[in-house]
Each structure stands twice: as structure tokens, then as C-alpha cells.
Amino acid sequence: MALEIDPITFAVIKNGLDTIVDDMAYTVMRTARSPIVRDVLDYSATICDAQGRILAQAKTVALHLGAVPDAMSVVMDEYGDDLVPGDVIILNDPYAGGMHLPDIFMFKPIFHDGALRGFSVVIAHHCDVGGRVPGSNASDSTEIYQEGLRIPPLKLYAAGIPDRSLLALIKKNVRLPDMVIGDLQAQLATCNVGERAFVNLFRKYGIDALGQYFDALLDYGELLTRQAIRAWPNGRYQFTDYIDDDGFAPGPIPIVCVIEVQDDHLMVDFDGSSPQVKGAINCTLSYTKSSTYLGIRCALGRDVPNNAGVYRCITITAPEGSILNPRLPAPVAARALTGYRVVDAVLGAMAGIVPDLVMAAGEGGNTVVCFGGYEAGSQTPFILVDMINGAWGGRAGKDGIEGVTNPSQNMSNMPVETLEARYPIRIEEYGLREDSCGPGEHRGGLGLVRQYRLLADEAVLQLRADRAVNPPYGLFGGGPAAPSRNILNPDGRAEELPSKLTRTLHAGDVIRHEQAGGGGYGDPLRRDPDRVAADVANEKISRDFAERKFGVILSPDGFQPDLAASEACRKRRRDAVE
Amino acid sequence: MELENGARIGVDIGGTFTDLVLSDGRGRTWFDKRASTPAKPEIAVLDGIAGLLQKAGLRPGDLLEVLHGTTVGSNTLLQKSGACTGLITTRGFRDVLEIGRVRTPDMFDLQWDKPVPLVPRRLRRVVSERIAADGGIVRPLDEGELRIVGRELAAAGVESIAICFINSFRNPAHERRAEAVLRECLPGLAITASVSVLAEMREYERTSTAVVNAYVQPVLQSYLRRLGEGLLALGVTAPLLVSDSNGGLAAARTAQEKPVFFISSGRSAGVVGAARLGQAAGEDNLVVFDMGGTTASASLVQNGEISRASEYEFRDGMSAPARFIKAGGYMMRVPTVDVAEVGSGGGSIAWIDDGGLLHVGPVSAGADPGPACYGQGGDRPTVSDANVVLGYLPDRLAGGELHLDVDKARLVIDRDLAQPLGLSVEDAAYGVREVANANMARAFRAVSIERGIDPRDFTLAAFGGSGPAHACDLASSLDITRVMLPMMPGVFTALGMLTGDVERHFVTAMPGRLDDLDMGELTGAVASLRALAEAALRDENFAAEQMRFAFSLELCFDGQNSELPVLLPDPVSGASHSWLRQQFHAAYEAMYQYVADDVVEVVNLRLLARGVRPGKLDFQSLTVTDTGGDQRESDDRRVYFGRDLGWRQTPILDRRKFAGDASGPLILESADSTVVVPPGGRLTGDGLGNLLIDLTGEIG
């Protein structure tokens, strides 16, 4: 840290920047129109300096983390010397700084004392941007032109004057124009909040001093990150994970991650990953980077700030034309699934570097269940989009968690009673799935079960799951979790369904999704027999599972491990392996 | 009735101290602050009451009311020391409690531990029954199965059972029947039907609320029984009223029946007291700031109304009603004062991370070993140590019992902070204060800016042991220019109890579109809630003219998950569909700064019934009769006010001797707290015993 930096002022300015992005996040939440932004909190807010470097980012959606630098550099390339006060730039093109079309980025350059000082940046997931399917988010499009309106970096406002042509074009091309325009206004209001507070910071501390503190803040982020990486052993760490399929061709689709630790720097490369695919699960490089930062970020301390200093320590590459860096016109709308698997692959590679800081694979990302149809005997349409989350894998020293969001975002679940009051569907079961955990010294979390009965005459079901063929992996001797399953009418003529499907259902049909659990961590034969017995007592695992997977034999009443019999059983297993 | 002029006592149990305030009803007041007795909290309460009565020269029979805030409920959750509890749910929904709302409080933290559910899976049992979303019966309740399940739970050692069936808020018949069956076949067990504590939609919130109730009930019942017996043994026959999480009071019997409403008993009473004080002092807009040993909390009073929330989460000893984080704490959907809490108190430890950044908290030295300056074995620098080094705190505390070791405080700050940062000891200490203030400022933003309210227009009302020492700096950092410090800030929460009314809450679900709302049905629902409330208040000895009823209809836009209340006119026939929509739009716009023309839905009808207590404290004529300790001689010492202002020779006054106007720098000391007025601050008394500090002046 440079000598002229006062540590107390430094702490206060850092807090001040965190407060600005917090206030921006609150502003989005208060002013947004669409439920996905307001209730699911699918947005993020960032402050950058004049060079476009991230100074602070609100903790909203984890996977927006790494997308801003690429988008910012596209904006700088396009408009770097053509910015004036009152300009506002938007973009959503995945092939020019964006992630997928529903995510519209907005940038407002901030001027003070006659010069550019920084940017307010707000990303929001819009409820619709046109294209062939409502919500602009379908996984079965085959080129980006089907997915909606593509916006290259354009000035929505030039020197404070709105561009009527651009606004009119957007309005004509989306299904819910009022909501989209309303959310754009919310983004603008938020940019303005950030601008005001940022200018105040300059008034208080002065231009020169603040510039020095910003440098120091990025250096601080870099320093913490480099300190962490320097403690990791140099070397090359590889891990491959798989997506089952893209809904068109049989899989598996490999995601190959190689992390090279070079003293205090990380090189991450995805060479060997699948070429781009027909279905819309291709993932642009910026989203690949986001997912990679997330996986690595989880191994850094919680106090490491979200700023550009962190990204200086990590270089990420993926071959062009691959599923992780696709070429036009590959469709990308449902790239979230691929992002989940990138996180899984990165954590798998990190397991070789920092075994104590990672977890075995979780459920593999949320399962999305959509029903669309008409209420019984009426013309009232309904569309239910339900998301099922999730389980974490086992960790060093502790079990995985069950009933928890994937760490890639921080989503909630829809209450059963709310769902039933609004849609002609009855939920027959929502609970933990027994025996679905990956066995390990620290077992994975149990997956969830959610079972739906259709009460309307007819509806179209769209279901997107994964991990039915390639289950969540275990680590260090821990076993994989149970794979996911989709079952039609489990109590009648049960029919196993594929993991991704579209199909018409009729009144009384029942759909059951059994989600994968989390993978196990460490040798299951070393799991504390008392913990195995407790899981049996809680009916989280069966007696049979306890014996088969953990080598633990229980007393006849089922609540106590028979230690002698268990030890003998475990010894037999170990001997058999050797 | 002599009610207007009788003596009343307010008691607040905190983590470290039990505070008591006795008011004789003629404006004279006595207080006491004594160490809490966590194993048997009633001991400190009873000893304190006996002591205060003696000081005041009153007999036990002179007391008209005992008003009580207790941490027994929150400690039971914190220490997981509640009853062995069972849960019975609809088949298919055994795990609703454990799954929760699946969010996490932080990102990037793979080491997070989800709180362990209060009822383990083996004690969560299911029965056959099902109510449809419209209240129809899909499958009847299997009573035979229920009896078997109940007996099995009892055999497994369960002392308390919660029941929560899907859609019971729409049709409670199965839950009510199950409650009756279990009471009959398991006499002696505590039974909580979810609709008895929360007749609202959303199965997780209702289940969790019912489970917390069941879990805490036997513990709180037994504590209040022991306290009641102890009071009788002292000769106190006055009714015992307990403060609820919403700052209202209720008979101890009600707290025993529905303990989930009383988990944050006490904490909210300070806010109620502050609002009442603001009313007396003509201050309608307050930011209320309470800073103790381990936490600081912020809440808001706007136009005289306390900001409230309809649910909150208890987690790691901290609780927050924040909309951002519904993340695996113990969720309670009960009315509560909207308080944001942060882990910054006098005992919070200051430390430097690997990148050289100074942090304060959330780890606290607590009461044991306490800050280094207490000389009780604490060896890490805390906020109180910084305050001692800077001259803010005297060398003795709490009425002179505790001597503070300035040299020890200097030593740990120098060793752990100043040297690594390359700063002088006073700059490092001042930095600790600045960082702690910045943390607390975030709590204030959570209750103000997050809700679209600009705190600059508000007066900061500060209390708690450490509040008055930080109030002015905190106000400055939020651009607040007016600070109010009540009399007896260190025991203000106990004082606040004396200002409350009795409150009871009732709710009934009325799901449907606003356009389809049958006004006749609404009138009927209002009448039946009112009848329930009248009976409950009559039970607490209120006459009809002392009862106040506030009905509100909770509305939301189609598809939303959070609703806003619209206060109904009296009589309800004054409300029409268009009037309700208009009121909702106005409330929505005030909250979110825009309004949609989407379909409006009705969620709940809610009733807040109030029994107005005669003779409650109004702060109009309050004098402290005895503050304990010797009168302090006027004095002065050097105090550090930051790099720009440096050390200033600062007059130190006994608060009891202060009268009239004065300018900072100035420090006022009393047995329960220390008031710091910075250079430039203008201090005046308001004639009601409050101190007002104006921070608009130039720093001199």
C-alpha cells in the first residue's frame, strides 16, 4: 500500500463504495416492475472508475460477477472517446459483451468537474425480449435469431435526450412492452442514484486523492487474492464434468477445466470441452468467465472485495466454437445449465488445489418445470414457471446441505399454497428424497422431490433437468449422488421420462421430479457410525443404504450402530478392495 | 379508580444486565441496573423489585402493574434449550420445515451451516388428510392414524407438538379436529395448531411459526409461572404484563399461550418508549438508535408511527426483518417492530485482515472477558477500549463499581492496531470508532434508505449503554443534525415498558381478487374478529371505552409475494372496491415509487386490538429521584476528536448538574451512560429531562 494512503480513510472509502452499490441494489428492488427482478432478484449493480475497472459490486446475483468487465470493454471500445454527460448506453448482445438476450446491461458515464470519472452499471433480467417463445428463455431454440431482439451497444440517451427510435423499436419487439420499459426506467433511476453518490464522494475527497484510493482498493483486492493463490501449490489441475445432453442429440457433453497455479496467478483453460451444440445451452465466454470466477471466488475469503483487482489474478480461455465460447449464430438462452456445470468443473479442479475449501458436486443446477394451458372449462390462460433447488455436496469436515439454493444464484422457492391458489395444479409431495445423497465420510445433501397433479383439462409441460445420466460427482473417495428422475403417473402406469422434455398432459396426470442429491466427500467407510445411525433414525437413509454404502450395521431397534459388526463389515470391504 | 396515580415497575432482562425502573405515578422515578442471572432470570428480577420498593419506601401492595420484557424466548432459541418438540403435517409435506425458503444469507460461502431445524426429521410425522386450495376436502383426516402417530411421538419423549396441514388457513377443520384429538389422547402435552398462531397462506412460514411456538412454550410457561409465584411471595399481587415483539403488552397468560409473539420481548419496548417520548417532546420523526455491549440496532418512527414488519427471522442471535435475506433462520411471521441489528457494540473486537484493512466486529468480547480495559482478562482491542484511550469514557463505569484500565487499553490498541497500521495510538483508536460507526450506519440505511426514506430529515434518538457516546458521530455520518438523548438512556428500555398499551393481534385469510370481494362477507369477517378481540380484552379487564380497533386489509398485485396493508374505515361500509384500490395504489407508490394497473388481490384481514392503559407514562413530568453513586465533581480531561480537531481539553460534568445551554466539546456522565458532545455541537435541555444536541453549527 502506497505511503500517502491513510488506512482509516481507506476503510471509510471502501465502506462508502459498498454503500453506494447497496443503495443502487435497493433502488432496483423498489422500482422494478417485473417479478423476476423484484422477487427473484435477478439483477446486479456495479460502480466502475473512468477506465471501466470495477470498484464495487452489490451482492445480488453471483453469476453476474464476471460479466461486467467484458461488457465494459465493449462499451469503451465503441464509445471510449465519444461520451458526454447525460449519455446512457444499453446492450444485450451475447456476441458483443452480453450474456443472454433477456439480460439488458445499462451504463451511465459519470462526469464531474469536466471529465469522465466513472460509470454506473446495472444489469437486469427482463421478463421478455421477443423471439419465438414467451420469456425469451427457451432451451430448444437452434439459432440466436429465434431468441429475441439483439441490441448492440447503443445510446438510449444521448446528452440527456432519449432516442425515440430505439425505444419504439424495443416496444414493438417485446411481448410486455410496459414492463420492459418500466424496468429500463428502474435501471436508469438506479444509475442516477449511483451517479449522485459517486459524485459526492469526489466532492468530499477530491479527484486526485480519490484516484489514489481507487488504485489502492484494487491493489487491496489483488493483494488478498494473490496472497491466497500464493499459498496454493503450483501445478496443473484438471477436471472433467458432463452435461447429459442438449435435448436434440445424445450426450454426454464434456466440460473440461484445467487450472494452472503459477505462483500468485491462475490460468484457467477449457480446451477439450464440447464443440458448440444445437440446443440453446451454449454459453458465451463472458458467462463462462463469470462461472469460473464464482468457483474460484468460493475458495477465497469472504472479505475479498468484488473488484477488478481480483480479476487481475485470473486468466480464462476457452476455444472458439466450443460450447463455452460459441460462434454466431449459436443459441444461448438457456446457458444457465452450462454455467452450473462450469462451476462444478472448476470446483472439481480446485479440489486438487484446496481440498479443504471446496465441496463435492451439488444437485447440478435448478430443475425448471413449466406448465402452460387454460383453466378448466375456461379461456383463462395460465403459465407456471417453477424452479426446484437443491442440495450441496459434502465438504471437508462437514456434510452437504439439503434444501438449499445452488451457490450460483440465491433463489427462493414458490410456496405450495401460493402455487395451488394461483394455478390449476395440486402439489402432492415436496420433500427430501431418501437415499439420494452421495455417500462419503461427509455425505452430500439429499435431493428434493416435487410431485405435481394437473387439475386443468390439458396443459403443455416443459421440463428441463439434468444429472439423470451423469450424477453429481463425489470427491476423495466419496461416492456420486443418486441421479435425477422424471416420472409420469408414479402411482399408476408409471413411465420414466427423459431429463429434458416437452409433452402434453391431461387432467389427473401426475409428474414427479426426483432431483439428484449432492456428492459425498471422503471415504464413506470412515463416516462416524453414530452419524449413519442418526440418518437412519431420521429416515434420511435406509438401513440397507447404511449397510451397502457405509458398512454400518444397526442394532435391531435401528437407532444404535452395532460397532463390532460394523467394523467387521468395513474391514471386509477394505480387504476386498485391496 | 386510583389507576392513574399508582406505582408501576418496568423490568427488562438483557444479556448482561437486568434493568428496572419504578415510577410512583406522581412523576418520581427510581432505577436499578444489576447483573442478570441467566440460569434463573427471575432471581435478578425479584431481587431488583424488592430493592427498588425499599428505596422508594413503597409496599409491595402499592404496585399496580409489573411490566416485563424478557430474553427467555430468544435465549431458548439461541441456546436450543426448548422443549423436545414434535411436528405433524399432511402426508407428502414432512420436510417443509427443514427445506424452508432455500436461500443463503451470504454468497461465495461454501462453508455456511444451515441452522438445524427445531424438530428433527424423526419427530416430524405425517397423517392422511388433504384440504384443497379452495378449502374443499380432498381426503378426510384419518383420526386413527393420528392417534397412533401422537402416541408414538409421546413415547419418543416429545413434550410439545405442533400441527400444520396444507391449506389449513383456508379451512381449519382438520387442524382443529387434530388438536382436539391430541389433547384428549395426550393430556399434559402442549399442543399448537398452526392456525391458532397464524391463519395465513404460505406453509413454511406458518409451520415455522407454529414450531417456534411449540418449542418455546414449556420454557416460557415455566419461567413466567416461577416469576408469578416469586412476585406473590414478595407480596406483589399486581398483574404481570409482558411486552411482545411488536412493543405491545399482554397478560402473562397470553404470553404462555402464544409465546411466539414474545420472542423479541423487550427490544421493541425501547422503540415504543422512544416514540412516546418523541410525542411528548414534539419530535414526530425519529431514527431510534440502541447500542449495547454486543449489538447496535436501528429502527424508525415516522410521523409518530413506529415502523413495523409482519415477519422476521431469528439467526445466530441476530434478527432482521430484511426482505433481502429469508435465509434459513427461525422464521416467525408475527408482528414486530422493524429493527435492523448489526454486531457493533462496546465489546466488539477490532482486527486487521491480511490485506491491511481494519474491521470491527462481529466478534464481541461480551461481558466475559469483556474489553481489555475492564481488566478481567480481555486481551483484544474493542470499541470501549478505543473510547477509553480517546478520553470519551471515564476511568470508572456503572456507578463507580468498575474501574477502567486506560494503560491496558492503550497497550492492546498499540500492539494490535497502531503498530501494524503505522499509526499513532489515538489515530488507530479513532479509526476503530469510525469503522464501528460506519457499520452502524449500514443498519440505519437498512431501515431508512432501503424503504425509500431519507434519514436526514429525522432526529436521532439514542439510548443503551453505549448509544449516547456514539450518537453525534453517527448522526454526522448520516447528515442528521439533531440528536435527542432521553433521561436514563442506560435503562431506557425498562422505562419504555411503562409507556405501552395492551395489544392483541388477529388475522383471517381472505384470498381472492379484489374485484370479487363480497363486501357483506368482509363486514361479517370484521364483526367476528372484533368479537374475538373484545372477549380477549375484556379478559384483561378493559372496559369498552378503553378498546381501540384498527382493521386493515392486506393487498398485493397479482402474482406478488409481499402485500401491503390498507387501513379500513370505521364502519367498514365506508370502503368500496374503488376506494380500496385507490388506497392500495397510494400505499404502493409511496413504498416503491411507481404503480401498475395490474389485477389487485386480497390476502388477509388483520386486526390490531388495543387496550389503552390508564396511567401509562407520558414523559410529561418525570424526575429521577435516585441515580445511585456519588455526585461527581466537575472536572475536565483531554479528549481526542479526530485528526483535524486533535486533542481538546474537555469539561466533564455530572449530568444531574447540567442545566441550560452549553457548547461542545463537553462530556456528561451519569451512572448509566456517558454523553459525548463534539466541538461545534450545541447542547440544550428540553425541560422534560431530555438533552438535545444541534449539530448544524460550525466546528469551533
Output phi, psi for B412, to 5 deg. -70, -35
Residues 272-301 of B with CB under 8 A from A: none
Range of lowest pLDDT (A67-81, A116-130, A142-156, B357-371): B357-371
Range of lowest pLDDT (B244-248, B314-318, B355-359, B649-653): B314-318
B110–A392 CB contact, under 8 Å: yes
Between the two ends of chain A, the Cα-to-Cα distance in Å is 55
∠ CA(A292), CA(A296), CA(A302), 5° rounding?
Answer: 130
More confident residue, B276 or B85: B85
Q: Mean pLDDT for chain A? A: 92
A11–B438 CB contact, under 8 Å: yes
Measured CA to CA, the distance from residue A451 to residue B658 in angstroms comes to 71
Q: Give A413-460 pLDDT, tens digit per residue.
A: 889 998 998 889 999 999 999 999 999 999 999 999 999 999 999 998
Domain B3-75+221-262 top-level CATH class: alpha beta
Length of chain A measured in residues: 578
Output phi, psi for A194, to 5 deg. -65, -40
More confident residue, A513 or B629: A513
Residues 593-632 of B with CB under 8 A from A: 593-594, 596
Mean pLDDT of B522-546: 93
CB pairs under 8 A between A and B: 192
A220 C-beta neighbours (distance < 10 Å), count: 23
Q: Is B592 on the interface with A (CB under 8 A)?
A: yes
pLDDT value at position B589? Answer: 77
Mean pLDDT of B31-60: 91
Chain A residues close to B133, C-beta within 8 Å: 417, 420-421, 426
Instruction: Give the up-direction half-sphere exposure of residue B654: CA atoms within 13 A in the CB hemisphere.
Output: 13
In chain A, % of residues over pLDDT 70? 97
Measured CA to CA, the distance from residue B251 to residue B503 in angstroms comes to 10
pLDDT value at position B485? Answer: 94
pLDDT at A376 over 50: yes
pLDDT value at position B323? Answer: 43
Mean pLDDT of A380-395: 88
In chain A, % of residues over pLDDT 90? 69
Q: Mean pLDDT for chain B? A: 88
Measured CA to CA, the distance from residue B531 to residue A96 in angstroms comes to 65
pLDDT at A557 over 90: no
pLDDT at B586 over 80: yes
For chain B, where do the domains classified as CATH 3.30.420.40 start and end?
A: 3-75+221-262
B355–A538 CB contact, under 8 Å: no
Dihedral (C-alpha) B286, B685, B23, B502: value to the nearest 10 degrees? -20
Q: How far is CA B639 from the centre of its chain?
A: 34
More confident residue, B99 or B3: B99
Mean pLDDT of A560-570: 94
pLDDT value at position B621? Answer: 65
**Mutate which of A6, A8, A291 to disrupt the B interface (most B C-beta within 10 Å)?**
A8
Q: Give B211-242 pLDDT, tens digit per residue.
A: 999 999 999 999 999 999 999 999 999 999 99
Q: How confident is the model at residue A220 (pLDDT cuts 50, 70, 90)?
A: very high
Å between A327 CA and nearest CA of chain B:
31
Candidate from B102, B133, B449 with C-beta closest to A389: B102
Residues 442-461 of B with CB under 8 A from A: 442, 445, 449-450, 452
In chain B, % of residues over pLDDT 90? 56
Q: How confident is the model at residue B631 (pLDDT cuts 50, 70, 90)?
A: low
The per-type count for chain A, helices as H runs and strands as E runs, is: 13, 22
Burial B665-698 (b: 16+ CB within 10 A, else e): bbbbbbbbbbbbbbbbbebeeeebbbbbbebeee
Å between B525 CA and nearest CA of chain A:
20
Measured CA to CA, the distance from residue B652 to residue B667 in angstroms comes to 5
Measured CA to CA, the distance from residue A12 to residue B358 in angstroms comes to 10
Mean pLDDT of A351-374: 93
Q: Give A454-466 pLDDT, tens digit per residue.
A: 999 999 898 889 9
pLDDT value at position A271? Answer: 98
pLDDT at B630 over 60: no
pTM of the model as a whole:
0.90
A8–B355 CB contact, under 8 Å: no
Mean pLDDT of A328-343: 94
Range of lowest pLDDT (B211-225, B253-267, B552-566, B610-624): B610-624
pLDDT at B321 over 50: no
Q: Which residue has the cell 394497473?
A: B597
| ipTM score | 0.91
Residue B36 is placed in which grid cell?
A: 442478570
pLDDT at B293 over 80: no
pLDDT value at position A108? Answer: 97
Mean pLDDT of A260-286: 96
SS3 string, A435-487, reads CCCCCCCECCCCCEEEEEEECCCEEEEEEECCCCCCCCCCECCCCCCCCCEEE
Chain B residues close to A23, C-beta within 8 Å: 445, 449
Chain B residues close to A412, C-beta within 8 Å: 101-103, 326
Chain B residues close to A402, C-beta within 8 Å: 98-99
